[in-house]
Structure 1
Amino acid sequence: MKELAYAIIDKYHDEFLELADTLFKTPELGYKEVKTKQIIQTFLTSHGIQIEKEYFQTGFQVTIANADKPHIGLIAELDAIPTIGHPCSNPLDNAAHSCGHSTQVVMMIASLLALKELIDENKLTGKVTLFFCPAEEFIDIEYRKQLIENKTIYAIGGKQNMIIDHIFDDVDCCLHAHGMGEFRKYRFNVKSSLAGFIYKKYHFEGKASHAAMAPSEGINALSACNLFLQAQAMLRETFLDSDMNRVHGIITNGGDVVNSIPSDVVYEAYVRSFSTTTLMNLNDQLSNAAKHCAYAIGAKCEIEEIKGYFPFNQDIALSDVVYQNMLPFVNPLEIQTDEKSVASGDIGDLSLFKPTIQFGYTGFKGTMHGKNLEVSEPDVVYNTTSKILVGSVIDLLTDSSYLENIHSSFRPQMTIDEYIKYLES
C-alpha cells in the first residue's frame, strides 16, 4: 500500500512544485496570511477537499475520513518571518519564508492527497485532519497584543489559541515536520527536543538632563540597563549545562539624543531553558536583578512579560514509527537522533496535551532565518518527506499496536484550564 501512496505523490509532482514556488513567493506574517490561505484553499478545493473549519483570522483545517477512528492530526504552519534582504521578501514588512514553513505546507498537502485516494477507495480506514496553523513565529508582538485586546485571539502563538479552543481534542496524535537547513552530515532528524522561553521587555526609567552641562541632575536609564546586562552576564556562570539556558536580547530604545541623559531605555529579551522549572526560576532572578540594578542608581524598571512556548519533548513511540519510514530513503547514519535544539516552537505547547512529533528535513541552501535561504533539493523537501510522512500515517491507520503503544506511554502534562491560567499569570 505504501508503494501505491508513493506513486500518487509522484503523479502530482509538477503540481506540488508549482504550488511550492507560489507559496515561497507569497510570504506573510502571522495572522496576516490572507493570500497564503486563499492559495492553499483554492488548491485543495480543486482536488475535491472541502474546507471544514476556519479560526483565528487565517487558520483552518480539512479532514478526509471513512471512519471516526483512528484520527491522525497533521500540522502545517502558514507564516513567514521578517528577513531583510531576502530576494522573495514581502516589501511591506520584509516577511520571507526563510523559516521554511511554506515547504511544510506542500509536503503535508502531498501526503493528504495520497491518503485521500486510499481512504476514498477504502484501502485505508480512519480519519486524517490537516491543521493549517497561523502565527508560529513569536513576533509582531504589538500587533498581536491588539488582537488579544480585541478578543480576536487569546494568545500570541497560533497553536496556543487552537489548544485553548479545544481544536486538537479529538486527534489520537499529531505529526509535524520542520526544515533544518543545509544538508551537511544529517539528512533528517528525529527525537530532537526544543527549549521553552519567556519574552521580556524591560523598560528602564531615569531622568533626562543636559549630558554635558548638568549630568548630575539626570538619572541615566542606559546606565541602569548596562548595570543589569552585567548582572545578567554574571548569572550565566550559574547555569547548568544540562538545562542549556540562554538569555539574549536587544536594546530597542537607547535614548533620544546624544546630548541628553537617556531617560527611557527599552531592552527586549528571551529567556530560554529545557527545564520548565529552571525557566521560571531564572525568569524571576532576572526580573529581580533588573529592578535592583535600576534602584542602585536611582532609576526604576518596569517589566512586561509574556509567556512564550513550553519546552518540546517528542513522543518517542511516535518518533520510532517515523524513523522506520525514513530507512527506505536514507542511510541510518544520515539520521540525527536526540538533538537538543535551543530553538523554540508552539509545537511544545501541543506536546503537553497530545502525543506529538516534529521531524527535521534538509534540502535547503543557506541559513535558516537568513536572507540566503532557498530550496536546493526540491525532491527531498517535497517528495521524500511526503513519502516518509504518508508511510508513517499508513502504519498508524493499519496497525492498532502502534497507537496502543503511543497511548500507553503518554500522559498529558496539564489541563487546558491550567494552561490558560499559566499563560495569563
Structure 2
Amino acid sequence: MNKFIENYLKENKDYFKQVSEFIYNHPETRFEEYKSYEFLASECEKQGFTVDRNVANIKTAFTATYGSGKPVIGFLGEFDALSGLSQKPNETSYQPLEKNGNGHGCGHNLLGTGAFAAACAIKKYLEENNLPGTVKFFGCPGEEGGSGKTFMVREGVFDNVDAALSWHPSPANAIMSLSSLANYQVYFQFKGTSSHAANTPHLGRSALDAIELMNVGVNYLREHVIDDARMHYAVTNTGGISPNVVQANAEVLYLLRAPRVDQVDDIFQRVKKIAEGAALMTETEVTIKFDKACSNYIPNRHLEKILYKNLQEVGVEPPSESQIKFAKELWSTFTEGEQKGYLDSMKGFGYFGDGSEFQGKYLSDSISTYYESQETLKGSTDVADVSWVVPTAQLTASTSALGTALHTWQMTAQGLSSYAHKGMLRAAGSMAKTGLDLYTSEEDLNKVKEEFNKFRQKNNYTCPIPNDVTPSKLND
C-alpha cells in the first residue's frame, strides 16, 4: 500500500510539477483566481474526478469527488496569491516580473498541487483495488485575507466529510500541532463634508481626521487587551491626493485577532466605540462593514499522530549541492534579525528544538519531533473553521531555505525550485498514506472521530461570518 503511493508520486512527479508551475505563473488574488481555478478544476476532471464548480456561491471554489460510500476523506487545496510579491523564480535578488504585481509569496501553488497530488494518489489506489470510500479534493480560494473556507463551512460544503488533511510550505518538516488566532476583518468608512482647506476650512468635516483619531484611540487600546491579541490596520482610502481639499470620505480596514472568537468579538465591540467616538469628535458619520472572519484551529491529536508516522515513513531526501548553494545565497539576503530569529517562524509551524541540527546548514534535512502543543500560532488560517466541523490535521514540509519568511519575495523566488517540489511531494505522500490508513483501519478512523465528537460535545460552533456577508475581492 505504502509503496503504491510512493511509486505513483514518483511516476507522476513531472505532471504535478507542471500543475504547480501553471498556478505559479498565473498569480491571482482572493476570489479572482479564475485561471488557476479553471485549470485545476479541469485537471481534476482529466484525472477522473467529478467536479462541482461555483460551490458556496463562490465563483472560484469547487469540489472534486471520486468514489462512493464511507469513509469520506477530504484534502484542502489553496491556489491564491498575494499582491505586490511578483518575483522571477529561482533568483537570489529582488527581480519582480511585474511592478506591484502578484506573486505566490505563501507557496499556495505548492499547497494546492500537493493536496491535489495526494487526492489523485488515493483515487488511483481505490480505483485499482476496487475499494469502497470517497475521496474529495476541495478547491479553496481566498485564504489570503478572504477566509474562503469559512464561507464554505458556513454553506455546508464540508458536511459529511469524515476527516480532512492539509499542509503548508515552510522551511520546516513538522506536524502543525499549534492552535491559531481567530480574527475579524472589518472596514470603517467615514463620511464628512468637503470644503476649501484654506478659504473655508470651518465648513469642512474631515473623514481623514476621523480615521487618524480612531487609529490613535486603538493604539491606546493596545495596553488594555490580552497579550495574545493583535490589532492591524491599513488606510485603504485617504480621501484623495489634494491637501487643499478637506477629505469628505476615508476608509480604514482593521484586522483584529485573538485566541478565541469571543475574545475577538469583545475587542471588536471596543474598537467600534472608538470609531463612533472619532466620528463624534469630527462631526462625521461612520459606517461599519464586516468583511470576513475565521475561528481558531482545533488540532485532532490522533489524526496528527497518524500523519506524523507517515511523514517519518516518507522521510526527507538530502538536498543536492546546487540546492544548498541556492539556499546559501538566499540566506545572505536576509536581515541580521531574520537570520538570528530563523527558528521563531519554524516553531509557529510545529518545529520543536533548539536548532542544533541546523548548525552550518541552510536547508532542513530532518523531521521535527512531534508534540501535542498547547501553544498558539501567532497567525490565522481559515483551515480553522474546517477543523470545527471535520476532524482535521496539517503538516508542513520544507520547501524553502532556513530563515525564509512567508509573504516575502524570497519565498516567491523559491516557489518553483527543485527543493520546493520535493517538499510538495513529501507532503503529498504523507497525506495520501494517512488517508489510506483511514480507509483501511476502522479503529483509527473511529479514534479520530471519537476525539472530535468529545470536543464538540463541550464546544458549540457558530460561523463567525454573518449570513449577510459575502466574499470580497481584494480591490472591491
> For 1:2-401, what aligned pairs fall within 5 Å after superposition?
2-47=2-47, 49-55=48-54, 56-65=58-67, 68-87=69-88, 94-122=101-129, 125-139=132-146, 157-180=147-170, 183=171, 186-241=172-227, 244-256=228-240, 257-328=242-313, 329=315, 331-333=366-368, 338=373, 340-365=376-401, 366-372=404-410, 373=412, 374-375=414-415, 376=417, 377-401=419-443
SS in 1 for 2:446: helix
**Contact conserved, 1:220 with 1:263, CA < 8 A, in 2?**
yes
Quick one: distance in 1 between partners of 2:248 and 2:62? 46
Shift of 1:63: 2.6
Over 3 Å counting, the alpha-carbon distance change for 1:210 and 1:247 in structure 2 is same
Give CA-to-partner distance per residue, 1:91-119, whole Å, 9 cap, x none: 69933222211112221232233223321
SS in 2 for 1:280: helix
Quick one: distance in 2 between partners of 1:134 and 1:268? 21
Give CA-to-partner distance per residue, 1:60-85, whole Å, 9 cap, x none: 222333x5112111111132222344
Question: Which protein has the bigger strand share?
Answer: 1
Quick one: distance in 1 between partners of 2:451 and 2:157? 23
Give CA-to-partner distance per residue, 1:301-342, whole Å, 9 cap, x none: 322223411222222222222122222315453668635223
Give CA-to-partner distance per residue, 1:229-275, whole Å, 9 cap, x none: 2211111111222xx21111111222331113333221111111112
SS in 1 for 2:435: helix
In structure 2, what residue type is equivalent to 1:251?
V
Over 3 Å counting, the alpha-carbon distance change for 1:333 and 1:261 in structure 2 is same
Q: Which residue of 2 aligns with 1:149?
A: none
Shift of 1:45: 4.2
Over 3 Å counting, the alpha-carbon distance change for 1:288 and 1:405 in structure 2 is same
Shift of 1:197: 1.4
**Contact conserved, 1:26 with 1:35, CA < 8 A, in 2?**
yes
In structure 2, what residue type is equivalent to 1:349?
D
Quick one: distance in 2 between partners of 1:137 and 1:54? 20
Q: Which residue of 1 aligns with 2:344?
A: none
Q: Which has the higher contact order (CA 8 A, sep 6+)?
A: 2
Quick one: distance in 2 between partners of 1:137 and 1:7? 34
In structure 2, what residue type is equivalent to 1:394?
L
Q: Tell me the number of residue pairs that the alignment of Structure 1 and Structure 2 aligns.
A: 398
> Which ranges in structure 2 are unaligned for 5 or more consecutive residues?
90-95, 317-365, 470-476
In structure 2, what residue type is equivalent to 1:35?
K
Quick one: distance in 2 between partners of 1:367 and 1:235? 29
Over 3 Å counting, the alpha-carbon distance change for 1:212 and 1:33 in structure 2 is closer
Quick one: distance in 2 between partners of 1:4 and 1:220? 66
SS in 2 for 1:290: helix
Give CA-to-partner distance per residue, 1:17-36, whole Å, 9 cap, x none: 22222221122234433322
Identity %: 23
SS in 2 for 1:193: coil
Over 3 Å counting, the alpha-carbon distance change for 1:284 and 1:384 in structure 2 is same
Quick one: distance in 2 between partners of 1:315 and 1:169? 17
TM-score by length of 1: 0.84
> Which ranges in structure 1 are unaligned for 5 or more consecutive residues?
140-156
Quick one: distance in 1 between partners of 2:185 and 2:302? 32
**Contact conserved, 1:221 with 1:265, CA < 8 A, in 2?**
yes
Quick one: distance in 2 between partners of 1:297 and 1:279? 27
Q: Considering only aligned residues, what root-mean-square deviation do their CA atoms show, in Å?
A: 2.8
Quick one: distance in 2 between partners of 1:28 and 1:92? 15
SS in 2 for 1:302: strand
**Contact conserved, 2:85 with 2:105, CA < 8 A, in 1?**
no
**Contact conserved, 2:45 with 2:51, CA < 8 A, in 1?**
no
Quick one: distance in 1 between partners of 2:28 and 2:249? 32
**Contact conserved, 1:26 with 1:90, CA < 8 A, in 2?**
no
Deviates more, 1:315-324 or 1:36-45: 36-45
